[in-house]
Amino acid sequence: MSQATLGDDEELFGEAANEMREDVEASLEAAWAALPDADDIWETDADNVLGVLNGLNSALEAGDAEENLRDAKKWFTMGQRADAFDDAADLEAEIEALEAAITDISAAGEQVGELTSTVPALRGTLQDAGPAADDDEEADADADEDEE
């Protein structure tokens, strides 16, 4: 193999490493952009708790962020194994931060999903239970006695 070929290979490898880093950075940027907006999970126009929970549940979708994170991790892993990155600590830290954000969003979504099914059942239980229900029954009984 000639000296010129080795030099060309090194230059090509450097270009490929730069492109790989750019791919990782682009995927990370797209993943961050795909996460829900903070205002979307904070503000609501709902009239009741169930409406709030349904809106929040919809807002807590990571969307394409997971797929973009997967792409970033794929190219990052490839670049690390090829020893293509001079310094990859910043990419690794950003991947970890993004993974943590997606995990938090997913966990919150699961909790909201549970509340979405629990709150209506709790409302029904509270409507059917307690002194208010007994008072209604007594009032109905008193009305029946008065009619006789």
pLDDT per residue, tens digit, the chain (148 aa), is 445 555 588 888 888 888 999 999 999 999 999 999 999 999 999 999 999 999 999 999 988 999 999 999 999 999 999 888 888 999 999 999 999 999 999 999 999 999 999 999 999 999 999 775 555 566 565 655 655 5
> Cβ distance 69 to 106 under 8 Å?
no
> Cβ distance 99 to 69 under 8 Å?
yes
Q: Three-state SS for 64?
A: coil
> Cβ distance 102 to 35 under 8 Å?
yes
Q: E strands within 11-75? A: none
